[in-house]
Amino acid sequence: MRALVFAVYLFLYTPIALVVLFSFNSGRNASELVGFSTQWYGRALSNPFLMEALQTSLIIAFTSAGLAAVFGTMAAIGLERVGPRVRAIFDGLFAAAIVVPGVVIGIATLVALAELFSFVNPMLASVWPGTNVPKLSLGYGSIIAAHGLFSMALVTMIVKARIASLGRDIVEASGDLYASPLTTFREIVLPQIRPSIVAGFLLAFTFSFDDFIIAFFVAGSKTTLPIYVFASIRRGVTPEINAVATMVLVASLVLIVIARILMREKKIAS
């Protein structure tokens, strides 16, 4: 039994460990370690296209996760204050945002935005004074919108679970002692739900940073890091990709470990 479980852990970690290992290999072959070298990292970091893709991904992940953390938390708090019917509608839509395959989310967003742009852009052109007419197109906005959808659902779920586990008594005590609702929120509720908000933000950030399929549809002329990596893989596997993959892995590992530590409190309670 133990041996079997150990084998499964090996199975889970060996492939990524090998990618990390070979990212430090000075040779080009996946089958032989020639010597230690950081040349592939040097090459990756001095590749302007790669760095631009990284920057794009960071901007998108930061914005979509930030918006999701704020709006998702607001929604989680708001859902405490509504009737069961409204709550059921929100729960259903959030569940749909999580369950509908990314490929469909990407397509639906693409179709809707393309239709919207083809409607709005001529209108803008006809009313805009001067020649420098702004033109709506796919890019940062559309990726942030599509990522924000999943992320907001995620944050709302996590924060809602945390709120549900809080005792009502302390909130009521605060009210009995004449604290305003805002003070009660700031002093009592927020400190208790803060770890879950941060955890939600980090998970949302990781999701956005790693997402390929949604961005693939709605990125327009922008290139996110996963899109860049995907395109390079199709051109041929190179050791440079191992270096990029390792950096992506390390980044998401750090974020997810922090998120899990923040959520541990809740886990033990449940």
Partner 1 sequence: MVTAMLLGPAAAWLVVFLVLPFIAIIVFSFGERAPEGGYQPAFTLAQFANLGARAAAFANTLTLAPIGALACLLVAYPVAYYLAVKADPRHRMLLVSLVVVPFWTSMLVRTYAWMYLLGGRGIPHLLDLVGFSDVRLLNTPGAVLLGIVYGYLPLMILPIYVSLEKLDRRLLEASADLGAHPFSTFFGITVPLSLPGVMTGIALVTILLLGEYLIPQLLGGGKVFFIGNALVDLFLQSRNWPFGSAIAVTLVAVVVMVLLIAMRIAWRVAGTRQVDLM
| Residues in 31-60 at the binding interface with partner 1, rule: CB under 8 A | 31
- Which residue of 45, 58, 59, 108 would you call a contact of partner 1, by CB under 8 A? 108
Closer by beta carbon to partner 1, 132 or else 224: 224
Output the smallest distance, CB 110 to partner 1, in A.
Answer: 7
Among 55, 115, 180, 187, binds partner 1 (CB under 8 A): 115
Of 60 and 113, which has the nearer Cβ to partner 1?
Answer: 113
Total binding residues toward partner 1, as defined by CB under 8 A:
83
How near is the Cβ of 177 to partner 1 at its closest, in Å?
A: 21
Identity (one letter) of the amino acid at 184? T
Nearer to partner 1, 1 or 177 (CB): 1
If binding is defined by CB under 8 A, does position 213 make contact with partner 1? yes
| Whole-number Cα distances in Å, 76 to 71, 141, 159, 216, 241 | 9, 24, 6, 30, 40
Site string for partner 1, 138-177 (x = CB under 8 A): -------xx-xx--x---x-x-------------------
Residue of the chain from 52, 91, 210, 265 that contacts partner 1 (CB under 8 A): 210
From residue 108, how far is each of 51, 112, 142, 212, 226 by CA, in Å?
29, 6, 11, 16, 20
Find the binder of partner 1 among 29, 39, 55, 183 (CB under 8 A).
29
Kindly tell me which of 58 and 107 has the beta carbon lying closer to partner 1.
Answer: 107
Residues in 250-269 that interact with partner 1 by CB under 8 A:
252-253, 256-257, 259-260, 263-264, 267
Nearer to partner 1, 65 or 113 (CB): 113
